[in-house]
């Protein structure tokens, strides 16, 4: 998982440098930040620490952390950019 997180983050960083589209770069930055935060947790703690855990009566939402939120928001933004398209800014 560490190698996968580092590898994908490196590929996204290269993509940002080669194709600097503002909206896509923001999505990639969120993905990179979340992935590298999870990598840091794995290296320092041995596992990703999920510390946000919510309940509503008997219903339990899966535990997550801010890095997970960053990855989800980055992926959603990337899907929106892919669907609606983006033109390069001068």
Q: How many CB atoms lie within 10 A of CB 32?
A: 22
User: Which residue would you say has higher pLDDT here, 15 or 36?
Assistant: 36
Active site residues: 50, 68
Q: Three-class SS string for 30-85?
A: HHHHHHHHHHHHHHHHCCCCCCECCEECCEECCCECHHHHHHHHHHHHHHHHHHHC
Question: Going by DSSP bridges, is the β-strand pair 59-60/55-56 parallel, antiparallel, or unpaired?
Answer: antiparallel
- Would the pTM count as exceeding 0.85? no
Confidence of residue 87 (pLDDT cuts 50, 70, 90): low
How many residues are recorded in the chain? 90
pLDDT digits (tens, 9 = 90+) for 37-71: 999 999 999 988 888 888 888 888 888 899 999 99
């Amino acid at each position: 998982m560490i190698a996968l997180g580092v590898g994908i983050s490196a590929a996204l960083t290269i993509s940002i440098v080669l194709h600097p589209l503002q909206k896509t770069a923001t999505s990639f930055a969120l993905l990179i930040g979340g992935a590298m935060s999870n990598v840091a947790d794995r290296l320092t703690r041995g596992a990703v620490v999920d510390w946000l855990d919510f309940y509503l009566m008997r219903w339990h939402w899966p535990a997550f952390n801010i890095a997970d939120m960053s990855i989800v928001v980055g992926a959603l933004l990337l899907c929106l950019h892919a669907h609606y398209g983006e033109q390069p800014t001068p």
